[in-house]
Structure 1
Amino acid sequence: MKRRSLGEGALAAALIQAIGPDALAQGGPSAGGWATAWAASVQGPYPVGNPSAQPDQRFLFPEPAEGARDQTLRLVLRPSIWGQRARLRFSNAFGTRPLVLDGVYAGLHLGGAAVVPGTNRPVIFGGSPSVTIPPGGQAWSDPVDLPFAAEPASPLLMGRKLAVSFHVAGASGPMTWHAKALQNSFGTAPGAGAKGAEEGEGSFPFSTASWFFLDALDMAAPAGTPVIVCLGDSITDGTASTMNGDDRWPDVLARRLDAQQPNRVAVVNAGIGGNQVVGPAEYGPDKPFPGGPSALSRLDRDVISLSGVTTVIWLEGTNDFSRNGNASLEAVRGGMQEGVRRLRAGIPGVRVIGATVTSALGSTSAAHGHKEQDDNRRALNAFMRDGNLFDAVVDFDRPTLDSASGGLKPEMVPESTTGGPGDKLHPNRAGYLAMGSAIDPAAVLPARR
């Protein structure tokens, strides 16, 4: 796909074409439906995964096999769009016991573990304050009103975060989680009971850099609101980006779109650190893998079942070609062909965008950086550019590639999470900024029907 950049006027025109002038004229959600505003692809059970900047979890979860025990978690997340009503999806996908949740609340995040006073709203399930989710299952909450979001497009809500609190009754057993949140959330001590109604932070002494059980958030939105799902591995999940900084490449894309038409396009992250297109062959509570289930095996849960999806941007392949993956080029190409077929069958009219894989040549990671991996990466990128599989191609390779070394540009190597030297595999904030800025909105927004 030939690259072109859009100025502000052209970007606005692309948004108007995608959404329609009538929807853009509305000040808030109308008769429409649900749009996914945030997601966290699940893996498990805890602690198998690849978290970043994780605090010591011994006091929050003393016995990992027992999981959470009679305690309240307060998860902090940033919706891509706001609505006057929301609903939450909780997952026990990789649990082995029934998960009992009660005391569920959602409020505007203030800072630390505190909620803005007066915004904390109770969340119910089928009219009940509690829900039991069987092993392998999931549950949607009833819609909950968000009075503080009465004007969803208000600049005062842009970038604000939601605090979702819930009490785990009894012991959860093995926990379904998303390891790499790159966002601090909070928890009470085990045995502390239900504390979600409290808006202060006194009951939440412990922190975590992961999300547990909660895997999707919907907002009420006008009909036709585009939802862009970014499917991938750690380079989509945001490894080496800024802790609590929301500067992964999907975040950069979301802000670009939001700056032109506030609250009109949702961009959600379906990345898992270490993920592969075709591996592992088996995955479950008894056979966990740090990179989570393969992209192919999680498409239904992490993409197709989400609300209002119009576009999928797929960036993956690095881990398949690593020494841990050892997949052939043919297997990954075939996996992408199968994945695109399933996405189009599962979401009629969806746009599927391929994203070229960034270089890991010279990486300090033992599993990455070798010549064979780079040869396969370049061949996969050529297939994406010329194979006519995707509706369009986003080129992340060109803006991040150092032509002299064949690896990442030097300024994109030092990692932004803890200030380390970087691994020459994961771009830092500068790299993700370049990637998110390289996306042509006209390529990823659906044409107006």
Structure 2
Amino acid sequence: MSDVHLSRRAMGVLLAAAAAAPRAAEAQPAEGWATTWAASAQGPYPIGNPSAQPNQSFAFPSAPDGAKDQSLRLIIRPTVWGRQARLRFSNAFGTKPLTLDGVHVGLQHGGAAVMPGTNQAVRFGGAGAVTIPPGRDAWSDAVALPFAAEPASPLLAGRKLAVSLHVAGESGPMTWHAKALQTSYATPPGAGARGAEEAEAAFPHPTASWFFLDAVDMMMPAGTPAVVCFGDSITDGTASTMNGDDRWPDVLQRRLHAAFPNRVAVVNAGIGGNQVAGPAEYAPDRPFAGGPASLQRLERDVASLSGVSSFVWLEGINDFSRNGNASVEAVTGGMRRGVAMLRERLPGVRVLGATVVTALGSSSAAHGFAEQDEKRRALNDFIRNGGVFDAVVEFDQAVLDTSTGQLKPEFVPESTTGGPGDKLHPNRAGYVAMASAIDPALLLPALARR
């Protein structure tokens, strides 16, 4: 009788749950993907502008061969958290098919170690491996993140993910983002698939760059906005603190999180050395340290991301350097075309123009001369008064020493290695001042009104 009683009781519970299921489903808010992190693919390793890069010859002895039967553990910081994630891997600048397997994602414990019990296997179309043709990318399947069962928990804010992957065979030229300003890790060549391991011993070699991984999405409440910060090294974070997450987009994200916890993603789409108008052509066999020109990468690095609602464009100083020598008209024309393309691809997107900060007096051989500054000021006049942007972010005023026309002295000494600075890239204090100059209501007027 006891067994019968328990069976009937269990059946009653199941029937009650079944009856409630439709109501529970109806009560669940709609969800969708929002990009929580990205790193714009800029070229084949080692072409680029890394900062504080350790010696890479032990991890990658041959750039043409790339990674060889080895694992990478890439450390990234999500800007919003969900219960599920998906990852995008890029072979944009590869010259041969790239096969990845043994992909895992877990919470970083410290260094290359993963927090015990958090490492989750990642699959692709139900399979444990994916082969990505040259010039293409691939999204993973959704992967559950049990450690993010409460995504809005303040204990998750600022935590980092360890994304591990194994390059099966030989990758050839590696698609990378040079200036991560974040330490990630690699096994020696030939070490095989080690991503399932939680310990760090298999990953002895540090790198200050990200390879192959170029975007991560989180499953979020529908309509979760993603703000894309687009530009060159000043957005990428040159002269900010290594592993400090204090680029101006990072500081902006923390400001938004304080106001709207776990409700706004902020994505960094900066590339050190990037230009609006150049280079005219870009290919794996014709690389450029600053990556493809803006208009050549807007689709991949902005429009193809999930949930993009706002876009902040800070760029132009490299166009006017001795490496660019572009006219003001070439840059303003490029910006007009870029904004038009984004509005066509992302109806309703809010586009903000950021005034370009001074490089006058820079110690960089390519920057700091009077003609560059004249062009910069003309571009800023266009950004403020050209009628192209929905709003303007006044970065120039935030960091300018009006008595000299240069960066304020306290924003010059660089924060990455403690060097003297180059009067081109603001330091950590400068990036804080820049992010503090952004009115959240300009980025997210609907959210700010709530």
* Mapped pair 1:55 → 2:88: no
* Distance in 2 of aligned mates of 1:399 and 1:132: 46
- Tell me the residue number matched to 1:124: 123
SS of the equivalent of 2:383 reads helix
Equivalent position of 1:443 in the other structure: 442
Partner of 1:9: none
Q: How far 1:224 sits from its partner (Å)? A: 1.2
CA contact (8 A) 1:98 1:134 kept: yes
In structure 1, what is the equivalent of residue 219 of structure 2? 220
> Aligned partners of 1:387, 1:265: CA distance in 2, in Å?
29
How far is the alpha carbon of 1:447 from its aligned partner?
3.0
Question: 1:144-183 deviations in whole A, cap 9, x for unaligned?
Answer: 0000000111010010000000000001000100000000
Aligned residue number for residue 242 of structure 2: 243
Alpha carbons 1:226, 1:446 under 8 Å: kept: no
Relative to the length of structure 1, the TM-score reads 0.93
Residues 1:36 and 2:35 are matched in the alignment: yes
Letter in 2 for 1:434: A
Contact 1:106 1:122 in 2 (8 A): yes
- What's the CA shift for 1:446? 4.8
Matched, 1:257 2:256: yes
Distance in 2 (alpha carbons) for counterparts of 1:300 and 1:273: 18
Q: Does 1:433 align with 2:432?
A: yes
Return the alpha-carbon distance in structure 2 between the equivalents of residues 44 and 193 of structure 1. 25
- Matched AA of 2:315: E
Match of 1:311, as an amino acid?
A: S
Give the Cα–Cα distance (whole angstroms) in 2 for the partners of residues 73 and 103 of structure 1: 10
Shift of 1:30: 4.2
Amino acid corresponding to residue 432 of structure 1 in structure 2: Y
Question: What does residue 175 of structure 2 align with?
Answer: 176
Task: Give the 4+ runs in structure 1 shifted more than 6 A.
Answer: none
Distance 1:421 1:276 in 2: 25
Please give the secondary structure, in 1, of the residue aligned with 2:430.
helix
- Structure 2 counterpart of 1:400, which letter? V
Q: CA separation in 2, counterparts of 1:140 and 1:376?
A: 41
- Judge conservation of contact 1:311–1:446 (CA < 8 Å) in 2: no
In 1, Cα distance between equivalents of 2:406 and 2:41? 31
Find the aligned partners of 1:381 and 1:156 in 2 and give their Cα distance. 41
Q: Secondary structure at the match of 1:34?
A: strand
Tell me the number of residue pairs that the alignment of Structure 1 and Structure 2 aligns: 421
The answer for the alignment partner of 1:421 in structure 2 is: 420
Percent same amino acid at aligned positions? 74
Structure 2: runs of 5+ lacking an equivalent? 1-27
Match of 2:186 in 1: 187
Instruction: Tell me how far apart the structure 2 counterparts of residues 88 and 217 of structure 1 sit (CA, whole Å).
Output: 5
SS of alignment partner, residue 345 of structure 1: helix
Contact 1:237 1:273 (C-alpha < 8 Å) held by counterparts: yes
**Structure 1 match to 2:17:** none
Which digits, 9 at most, give the CA deviation of each residue in 1:340-391, with x for residues without a partner? 0000001010000000000000000000000010000001101111111100
Following superposition of structure 1 onto structure 2, how do residues 317-336 of structure 1 map, counting pairs within 5 Å?
Answer: 317-336=316-335
CA offsets 1:268-288 (integer angstroms, 9 cap, x no match): 100000000010001110100
Question: How far is the alpha carbon of 1:31 from its aligned partner?
Answer: 2.4
Q: Letter of the aligned partner of 1:296 in structure 2?
A: L
What code does the residue aligned with 1:57 have?
Answer: Q
Q: What amino acid sits opposite 1:354 in the alignment?
A: G
Asked if structure 2 preserves the Cα contact closer than 8 Å seen for 1:351 and 1:446, the reply is: no
Q: CA RMSD in A?
A: 1.0
Greater CA radius of gyration, 1 or 2? 2
Structure 1: stretches of 5+ with no match in the other structure: 1-28
SS in 1 for 2:44: coil
Q: Residue 310 of structure 1 contacts residue 446 of structure 1 at CA under 8 Å; is this kept in 2?
A: no
The residue matched to 1:158 in structure 2 has which SS?
coil
- Distance in 2 separating the partners of 1:119 and 1:133: 27
**Which SS does the other structure have where 2:43 is aligned?**
coil
Other structure's SS at 2:58 match = coil
